[in-house]
A and B are shown apart, each in its own frame.
Chain A
Amino acid sequence: MTKLSRRAFAATSLSLAATAPAKAAPALTVRQVLERMHGQIGTPWTERGVDRIIVGDPDTLVTGIGTTMMATFDALKAAVAAKCNLVITHEPTFWMHEDDVTQLQDDPLYKVKLAYMKAHNLVSFHFHDHWHAKKPIDGIHQGMADRMGWSRYLKNPYDRHIDLPPTTLGGLAREFQKKLGNRTLRVVGDPGLAVKRIALSWGNCSLLPGAPYLNSDCDALVIGECQDWDLTAYAQDLVTAGRKKGLIVLGHILSEQWGMDYAATWLRGFVPEVPVKFLPLAEPYWNLKTKWTFEIIVRVSP
């Protein structure tokens, strides 16, 4: 499917190039933005994986770029409000990693979301694998370290460990809550556990590589999300067995989204023609302990 559409896109690109000089403003297409990204990522661009245009045409003229953690409906509304029609999203547009919509053709929400994107001339680009593979450092890792104020602790860009000023597991959890605005983070382990060295695996982290991280030279592992019967159960068993370890589960979106703030900074460096804005998302959840809050950015009738 990708190959066919690329051929089709090449044809439209030619015809557009012929008519482009007639336009007064310099026309920047999605395709041009993506080509510049290919040149800047520092690692070979590959068609494997999930990174591709999910909705929209690569020859769409870009009015502005919105980077976001996940192209939720709220994020799309925020993009429209910010006059950004190219949405660069770390996570899927259609609620599954591969954005495989074959099973969703009759899904009412899929139809509404697609129609909204078409009506607003939106293009969504799934920017997951390459942003993690960015050289010399994973873009999510850099952006999250920046947000936490830990960039100065990043010794080796390929090392997921960070040495922090001494704290406790509870203190570390509170620091995440303060800097990420996180209401519902969850913790396994003794709140008083002494913590100096941590391992970071932003986003989803299963038993592998989670178990080796937990067993590595660190006091605590910090992740975005895992399944309770998988890495959480492993961490629990480690604690039961007497190991001095902790696990902090931040929530997937809050554990990675400042990496997309860094993506906006990165894009501004080589896309000067249009505004580039980071579109932050609210935490999806509330719980019963922290005072519940419920945010929806804007409401539009579908």
Chain B
Amino acid sequence: MSDLTALQLIQRVIAKSGAQGRPQTVDFVSAGDPTSAVNGIAVMGQASLEGLRQAAAAKANLVFTYDPAFWATGDNLTRMETDALFLEKRAFIRAHDLVVFNLHDHLRDAMPDRIAAGMGQALGWQSDTANVNLFRRPPTNLLALAQELSAKLDDKTLRVVGDPKLAVTTVAASFGNTQQLPAIALLNGPADVLVCGYAHEWEVVEYAQDMISVGLKKGLVLLGENASVQAGMKSAADWIKTVVTEVPVTFISLPEPYWIL
């Protein structure tokens, strides 16, 4: 065990992130005692119970997670006080002296965006020099693009809007959750396809459908949240290893949540 506390390591990672803090941020300690001594760091897409078990098994008690441990942006706990699963998860965190820190905004706001950069790296795609979220691809089509994403991100449950034969040379990415107005701007930009983690099926999905319905040559791929950020967190773990050398840093890969028929 090191003499370093979770708080010291969190502060170091934030200081080295290169990102300005947001006035309102989701990056905070959502569970655990930040004065705990750290014997290892675990990095994952979402601090699921399975992810926390693997962290504890790896003797890593400081957890950096992209998505919240308590199932909602901002980990709103007041409404979960009587929830049996919440109490069980918190008891597990306490029993293993885990400290869970949401590391989201400081990755996305880095220059370049560490999630996007890591995803591009995992895909082996060269991004536009000016825009880490824009990729020029050798000519392909929407079906082949979906197959490539599925294979490289181990994503069996991705969903696609658009003509499978759509010609694709330019891909815009909005990894993770995509908001309606930024996604609309990306769909109206030079990209043939927008690749994202999740978008509401009463907003961006229908906007893309309507573009296609009026004859515009566009497509939309929904990877699912896990597949759309996980490789970014793996790359974040590699970066954290360069910042924290005193304790082991382990990336924990989680399977996609769903199965399909």
A and B associate in one complex? yes
Chain A residues near B (Cβ < 8 Å): 70, 72-74, 77, 91-92, 95-97, 103, 107-109, 112-113, 170, 173-174, 177, 184-188, 191, 204, 206-208, 211, 215, 224-225, 227-238, 240-241, 243, 249, 251-253, 284-290, 292, 294, 296, 299, 301-302
- State whether the Cβ of B128 lies closer than 8 Å to any Cβ in chain A: no
Q: What is the bound-complex CA distance between A228 and B72, given in angstroms?
A: 10
Chain B residues near A (Cβ < 8 Å): 46, 48-50, 53, 67-68, 71-73, 79-80, 83-85, 88-89, 143, 146-147, 150, 156-164, 177, 180-181, 184, 188, 197-198, 200-207, 209-215, 222, 224-226, 257-261
Residue of A nearest to B184 (CB): A107
17 inter-chain pairs at a CB distance below 8 angstroms, sorted by A residue, are A74-B209, A95-B202, A95-B210, A96-B180, A103-B181, A107-B188, A187-B261, A206-B72, A229-B73, A230-B71, A240-B50, A249-B258, A284-B206, A288-B146, A288-B147, A294-B164, A299-B213
A95/B48 in contact, CB under 8 A: no
A contact residues around B157 at 8 Å (CB): 186, 287
B contact residues around A107 at 8 Å (CB): 184, 188
Q: Looking at the complex, which one of A229, A284, A292 makes contact with B46 (CB distance below 8 Å)?
A: A229
Nearest CB of chain B from residue A182's CB, rounded to whole Å:
9
Nearest CB of chain B from residue A147's CB, rounded to whole Å:
18
With A235-B257, A236-B49 given, can you name 10 additional A-B contacts, CB distance below 8 Å? A72-B206, A73-B214, A95-B202, A113-B210, A186-B260, A211-B83, A285-B205, A286-B160, A288-B156, A289-B156
Q: What is the bound-complex CA distance between A253 and B198, given in angstroms?
A: 16
A287/B198 in contact, CB under 8 A: no
Q: Looking at the complex, which one of A108, A184, A207 makes contact with B159 (CB distance below 8 Å)?
A: A184
B contact residues around A188 at 8 Å (CB): 257-258
Residue of B nearest to A104 (CB): B184
From B156, B164, B213, B214, name the one whose CB has the most chain A CB atoms within 10 angstroms.
B213
B contact residues around A96 at 8 Å (CB): 180, 202-203
Nearest CB of chain B from residue A108's CB, rounded to whole Å:
7
Per DSSP, chain B at the interface is: mixed
B159/A287 in contact, CB under 8 A: yes
B contact residues around A206 at 8 Å (CB): 72
Known contacts: A207-B72, A229-B73, A296-B212. The answer to whether A236 contacts B50 by CB under 8 A is yes
From A215, A234, A253, name the one whose CB has the most chain B CB atoms within 10 angstroms.
A234
Q: What is the bound-complex CA distance between A12 and B27, given in angstroms?
A: 55
A contact residues around B258 at 8 Å (CB): 186-188, 232, 249
B contact residues around A232 at 8 Å (CB): 257-258
A292/B158 in contact, CB under 8 A: no
From B53, B158, B202, B209, name the one whose CB has the most chain A CB atoms within 10 angstroms.
B202
Q: What is the bound-complex CA distance between A186 and B213, given in angstroms?
A: 26
B259/A234 in contact, CB under 8 A: no
B contact residues around A211 at 8 Å (CB): 71, 80, 83, 85
B contact residues around A72 at 8 Å (CB): 206, 209-210, 213
B contact residues around A207 at 8 Å (CB): 71-72
Nearest CB of chain A from residue B100's CB, rounded to whole Å:
13
B contact residues around A235 at 8 Å (CB): 257
Q: Looking at the complex, which one of A240, A251, A288, A299 makes contact with B158 (CB distance below 8 Å)?
A: A288
